[in-house]
Chain A
């Protein structure tokens, strides 16, 4: 019998660890809202790795529970290759209504900036009227964050600039001002951010204050480093768990997915892809 440790990958990037760690949060019976960009890669990996028949819904109005076609990775959630591989195609309102009816059990989202209550900003950096940096706007992320049962944020860069005490603009509702403010605003009881996954760690949310705290560390990251790179005074779990490194199988699927994504014009930073075969 092979000793389990030997199956773990030794060299991998923080970005790869983030994708793998996110993939492990999916349960076999989840109904997943499949959003553009990093979430799309995570769901793609999950279908190849563990759950080929995972039920996924996309905001353009399409539902699937089939393994991706091998010839071409979709370049986005609107790729026409998705259509003949789907069980339902309708209007955007169909997909968003699935969400509003409370049928989406899990969603991943990436965002530009996040605060300690898990609110996201993809609208503007600086004053709204005089932006330093204009961002795209939220698209469907506003309702995904508002209405999915479990929301998992993916932040590819764990730094003070991305993790801030207070946002310039709330595009995507997390726990708003913490405590019961999200419920008071009218969002479903069983909804809201469950975790933030970064190259360094997994944060979860205090059940009472709804503030994000450090729950588990990715290998090679330290508590001090996470605290240093977070823009608020981050609270730490009494016992910080250690997350296992990617298995050889996980990293193989992860790298294949990344490679296919690059072929479809995703931009991945060189430091994320240094172990990809050229």
Chain B
């Protein structure tokens, strides 16, 4: 699991690679929140292009970031989801809270 953040004035992009589970979600959270909270950009994009595995901890991760970003009035979008990850996020009703885009 690795995380890369890219910052522009309007957007923080969080690109995750590898596996997201309960074990590594904590480290993922720490790094993502650091980038989010030090920029407070109006848009936060979470890129799943290089995610090879996720369980419901991945949903918890997205939901947690959504809570932080929407608290300061920002938007979250999740991009490059595989069909399976998209289906899991819909299971959680995330499409009602943010934009979800498949690959």
Query: Do the two chains bind?
Result: no
List the interface of chain A (C-beta within 8 A of B).
none
